[in-house]
Amino acid sequence: MLSTFIRAELSLLSALGYFGVLSMGRIVTIIGTRPEIIKMAPVVKALDALDHDHVLVHSGQHYDLMMDRIFFRDMELREPNYRFELKEQPPHLQVATTMRQVATVAKSADLVIIHGDTNTTVAGALLASKLDRPLAHVEAGIRSFDKSMPEEVNRIIADQLSNLLFAPTPVSRENLQRENVTEGVHVVGNSVIDALLQNLPIAEKRSDVLSRLGLTPGGYMILTFHRSENVDSKERLSRALVAFERAADEAGMPILFPIHPRTAKRLQEFGLEKRADEQASLRRIEPTGYLDMLILEKNAALVMTDSGGLQEESCFFRVPCVTLRENTERPETLEIGSNVLAGTDPERVRDAVRRQLDAERDWLNPYGDGTTGERIAQLVAASLG
């Protein structure tokens, strides 16, 4: 009979890769915002199922930890292995602090995985480069072609530094090709569809948001509005309030507005709070959890947004969308007619609302079949050997 010491030695040698057993790779996935929690949850779950060590890091870019925990709960996503806090730091310090805080975790990674276009994204990309660690970018290749948007610069940097690039659509792959990024590119769909398919049945069972808010399906529009280029300018935010009022008049229904903390803060700073209060058709509520938001989107007559994620989600739900920007990194939605660009000009927004409410809702979802997380996990496993 083998002694306890010999058995322990054999177990150690096996774990280290002797006797034909490969040692595990170490994957470090870095997220930091609520949209990243939503979109990466299916990917994280698929990576967790691999025979590799998977470390999940939350940078704390969205510093409302209570709200973030609600999103983790709604997505049935495990807690991060490491959770940091950035609080209200300016963007350059968010990037620098994230690099400093996550360096110890990432320095031994066999693969660093980032998502999207946030300050956390570019911090993770730069960190992997400086540590000489392989990098994978989920949602690679999307472009607005507007470098005045911080997100666009973050996307470009992340893609240029990545070894594995998970593009959601053929359009995204073509964008990468134009930038001479051709190696390691895979079209995998968008994990937002995985999240919707996995969580909509749960939302329909658990959420009572329509009855709680006294809403009827198809009897309201939903609005999200938070991007810096829209809300950090008093003139643009003031013009948007007029646009919201005219949109509600055109549609003959109220606008439900889960207001982002940034937008609420700017309304107060610019002296526009009273004006927003006076708009009876603009119904402001606190930010909602993910499951409630799914029900609100699915049952809305129309979505108005400056968010990228809602352009994709409304497309899936076949709810027409009006994007309150001058460009979009989701051109597929424009091509199929699920979405139009309107900026914040009141008359343009009114006209766009009229057209979209009359639109045929027969478009096909261009973002995949809900297997993106599994595809990414398979490609990661193949890259690690």
Taking only Cα atoms into account, the Rg of the chain, rounded to an integer number of angstroms, comes to 22
Phi, psi of 218 (to 5 degrees): 80, 5
Say whether pLDDT at 12 is over 70.
Answer: no
pLDDT tens readout for residues 227-242: 989 999 999 999 999 9
Cα first-last separation, the chain:
35
pLDDT band at 74 (very low <50, low <70, confident <90, very high): confident
Q: Looking at the chain, which residues constitute the CATH 3.40.50.2000 domain(s)? A: 24-190+368-384, 197-357
pLDDT at 66: 55
CATH number 3.40.50.720 is the correct assignment for the domain at 24-190+368-384: no
Please say if 115 is a catalytic residue.
no
> From the candidates 54, 58, 62, 226, which is the catalytic residue?
226
In a 13 Å sphere around the CA of 217, the CA atoms on its Cβ side amount to 7
d(CA 270, CA 237): 9
d(CA 203, CA 195): 11
pLDDT tens readout for residues 139-186: 999 999 999 999 999 999 999 999 999 999 999 999 999 999 999 999
Which fold is adopted by the domain 197-357?
Answer: Rossmann fold (3.40.50)
Q: Identify which of 206, 189, 218 has the alpha carbon closest to the alpha carbon of residue 317.
A: 218
Contact (Cβ atoms closer than 8 angstroms) between residue 134 and residue 111? yes
Say whether pLDDT at 61 is over 80.
Answer: yes
Q: Identify which of 291, 265, 287 has the alpha carbon closest to the alpha carbon of residue 276.
A: 265
pLDDT tens readout for residues 98-134: 999 999 999 999 999 999 999 999 999 999 999 999 9
pLDDT at 88: 77
d(CA 242, CA 235): 11
d(CA 104, CA 247): 50
Say whether pLDDT at 94 is over 90.
Answer: yes
Contact (Cβ atoms closer than 8 angstroms) between residue 310 and residue 297? yes
Average confidence score pLDDT of the chain: 92
